Structure 1
Amino acid sequence: MVCAKVNIIAIQERYLETITKQVKEVLGDKIIINSITVKDLQINTVKSGDIVVISNSQIKGLVTQLIPKDCQIIIAKRDINYTNTRELLKLPPGQHILVVNDNKNNAVETVQSLREIVFEHDYQAYLPEETISKTIDYIVTPGESHLLPQGLSNVIDIGARLLDISTFEELVNLLKIEYPKSQIVKRYFKACVSLSCNYNTEIKSSKDIQNVAQYHFEDIISVSKSMNEAVKLAKRYSMDSNAIHIHLEGDPGTGKSMFAQAIHNHSNMEKHSFISVNCNSRNFDIVENELFGSDYGEEASYGVFELAENGTVCIEEIGELPLSLQERLLRTFQEGEFLSSARNEPMPLRCRVITTNSKSCKELVKDGLFLQELYNLLSDNSLKVPALSERMEDLVPLIDNVKQRIKRSDIEFTNEVITFFKEYNWESNVKELYNVITYLSFLEEDPIGMEFLPFHLRSKTDEKKFNKINVNNQIISSIEEHGFLDESIEILNTFYEGKKIYASYGRKALKKRLEEKGLNLSEQQLRMRLEVLHELGLTIVRQGRAGSTISRKGEEFIQDYTKTKIYS
């Protein structure tokens, strides 16, 4: 039986890997799966008659422009992974929970799912433009904990949202797969367990081996001096017949793979094979078999060094390999031949080898993680791909390039957003920028202002908000330990009102003001409450007639607490 081909398309690579794994768990024996990010989608990527599953409705307009008209499209629906709700179920009912996701729509959708499933609690979606309740007990995020500032307490990660079961039912019906619904349900829950936070499994990238060099130097944006110099050096290496080993270093997301493909396409090897093997987070035995071949009786297979004869082999993240495998590569490069596991005999190395690494191999040598001799050999023809922060002259051209590729040249950004982009620390470099612009292009806003940026971009602003929540929760908890929150709030309010008229109060004057408000406390009770507020840094205690007053920290706390009461 010929399996149907299903193309899964999403914006973010990390999420694409997750739902691809899920689809494999449920229907992997019935279909052929091809995973594609929106930024990698091109005309002819999807073939006529294929099925297409897209991660959300926002990208449908673009996808339909780049796939054959006879392809049927399923717009995926998403839901939380039920197997990750254990911690929520353990909490006492009535908890106030802030839900943080990567954007507004996803945060709201997650809240809706939680209200339907774990209905015992009160949920609030984190929306930057709205006031956050300071009575938040917990923060919940569906696999986006990297968006939160470090050191927050009471954070529950319920794992990435998955495709819901109705999406699989739609896919099964469309493909006319003879599955009873009960079997789909069983496999669906198996996938939920497999992808749960507590299940020790590794999500493999669908791009561990790549057999196409689709990029050319013309595709590399190089307005800046640093990028121009890198491109010029790469072009020189590509045409140098003696440069049989080329090494590319650069931070994650800088475009090392793009450079490797451009070098191949600019060389006299252009018409021959380009095969890329990614070593990152993979089984080393598998990587070794892919490079040198394997011999399992009748199932012997050639390695890429043989398959790429007269072409190019790209070994991505070579620094991840163990020293034993580095030694085998070193011998291969030095001797110009390797032992083919498939043939069990020496074979000449007849291909160019490009290696890449995100970390400095020189530093890895110092740490004993990389062979000095191998580093020396690779250093002969090496270049560093600059980080985005080192080539900010390329920022606007890069943004324009993304808009052109996804056919959204009409979208505009406010000056504030462009300034923010130039000042933002793009940790994942061009890859992160491309993902962000692709996401923003699907928003129906013109122009796009700061309020529409993904949450993680506003990390500095968000960190202040989250830290304030954390600090205020700790203050409230500390006061409640002594059992008199309402009385302490009234004391702080009285101090705050007095400070506005430049008045401070000794204990007797404070006691009198509180009695006027209907709060009667004994001398001992008032002293105990004042001691706690002072220990928390909320008040300033002065001796004699100067009296006590509220501190700056106390002012901020009482202002936030008052706002919470108004909006909650």
Structure 2
Amino acid sequence: MEQKPLLAFVTLNSVVNDYLCRSVKSIIGHLIDVGGYAQDRKNFLDRSPDLVITSGPYCDSLAARIFPGVHRITAFRVLTGEKLEQVLEIPTGTRVLVISNLREIAQESVDALQQGGVNHIIYDCWWSGMEIDPSQYDYALAPGVQHLCPYTFKHLINLGLKSLSVRTFVEILSFFHLDLGYADIYENTHLKTHVDTCSKIIRTLGESEESRRNQSFILNELGEGIISMDDSRSHLFCNQSARKMFGVSEDQDILSSPAFKRISSMFDKQPLKENSNLQNPLAHTSDVLVNILGRDMLCRKSMIHLDGKRQYLYMFRAAEQIRKWGESLQQKQRSLNPTVRYTFDDIWGNNPYSLRLKERAKIFAATEQTVLIVGESGTGKEMLAQSIHHASPRSNGPFVGINLASMSQSLIESELFGYSEGAFTGAQKGGKAGLFETAHGGTIFLDEIGDAPLSIQVLLLRVLEERVITRVGSCRPVPINVRIVAATNRPLQEMIKTGQFRSDLYYRLNVLSLCTLPLREMRDEIKDFLTEYLCRLCNRPIAFSTDAIRMLEDYSWPGNFRELKNLVEYLHYTCENKSQINPDDLPEYLLQEMGAPTLSQTQSMVELEHLCLETSPLRDILKVLYEASPRGIGRGTILSTLDLSGIHVSEGKLKHYMEQLKDQGLIYSGTTKQGSFLTAKGIDFFKACCLQ
């Protein structure tokens, strides 16, 4: 039987741990295993969990020590409202002791009560190890941990253990890729405790202003509009969010508002669906999109049985809030998969080929087929793979990448397919899931597939054909549900001819193929790439001189976009206070590659001036180049121009003079087609020395 994923709670107290485990098991225990570690019990699990939930930030360091390297979420927990009516009956001005095992937890409870409007009493905190005079207190409040306090009080009110918020429960569902509908079940179970408490408060305190204030506290954490009424359609309560949504003041009956009457009549026509998963009978309608005072709202009507009577509950959520919640979930998913950083919007290039490539990739993203990306190193193959995942139906699943060129054969196999317990010396207890299992429900990116050993190619072929993997040291096949995107910078078809790559694997991979464009074939956009990326880093525009851009456009860019980004990073730190980038600002390796002068060339400008004054042809050559600016001209054109002026210079002598000028950074010589032209430094030099 396949092992279920494991969720572990880490708490300081075993009572809290057991309570949190039960609350999650009751909803999704059939889908995942739930266990825990409590500091006071020190119960170690028999295998490493897939996710750890801590009861608060005070447990984070403990969790990191017990379960190193496991993804961790800090729970947001809330008071359920249990015994709150007893708290409200405490006389005004009474000093009350709030009990917990930690100061931070006690203060959290106080903050929750005060934020809900329970401000008629004075709060003091007690935590384990603290000494007090118990005779000062007739009342003590304890959120489920009253057994920790050694003192006796006249009135000890158990507020009940704090439960997981719906927000944290959704994070758990998102991590394990479970249906978010389970959040509704958890929310309704969680909500019923609040409704029970609210009804008790109403019966205890009547319709007083204090009652309405504390109803708002009980339902405050939900963040939605709540309206409750009984079988006779009498108004029981509504929270402030609902009043704001309907534009109804405190002294108005919300059930009489035209908007609520219209919505109520809509729900009267809908049948209620029984929910058999809950211990307490509850029925609800489907969600309905309604418009309230110009705002789109998602509304649900539920029926709850309380004390043998039926009570109807209306819940309203703003559509805009739901959209933001969805975006938040996507961000959470990205945080669980930090490698997913790019979308199609991040891919540069507005030339026809790049635009066509992105459009084709978007079409491929909507499918489940394998994609093969071919391109030179640094052309954005992984960026394209991440963008395909982000735009695919699997975007809420994991994106897992592996570079097959950076690992040994034995390591690749265990990383890709995992291993069972005892598979080899040093194998961890319980074994370990491989990347294919980790990517279940999402996408696996096989980078540098052309460098995979032939033995690994055979195993990959089986995965593509049968969609199962077998862990190292095991005979049990494990079914997987992943989408495969592969990439390479090697000529696979040539490798097939030489026996370095399997033809059957190639044709399995090459279902949908994409080819990235090298940067040297996008010369017209290099200036835009440079200025945009540099502006992002420096938070201000920085221009490139004409000479610098000409050099960079003529450069071969063997490292493609990766090299371009490295260049911009270099300029960001070295030219932070400049408004323009000139050739001498570029890194020396690039200048040497282009044949331009570097900082290590030290002939002074004074020596150049003397050379120019003593050598008439040198002045004349500079004049011809100056008059041709900004256009570049070849040596043949320079020679013919000098001849027409009566100045005779041999081709060998001209070449010598040009090399001198180039060595000192006064001219730039490009390809034969581009010719040579004066740099900004050369123009300044000519004006200073030759126009006097």
**Does the alignment reach a TM-score above 0.5?**
no
Select the structure that is richer in strand. Answer: 2
- RCO comparison, higher one (Cα < 8 Å, 6+): 1
State the structure with more CA Rg.
2
Superposition TM-score, scaled by structure 2 size: 0.36
Superposition TM-score, scaled by structure 1 size: 0.44
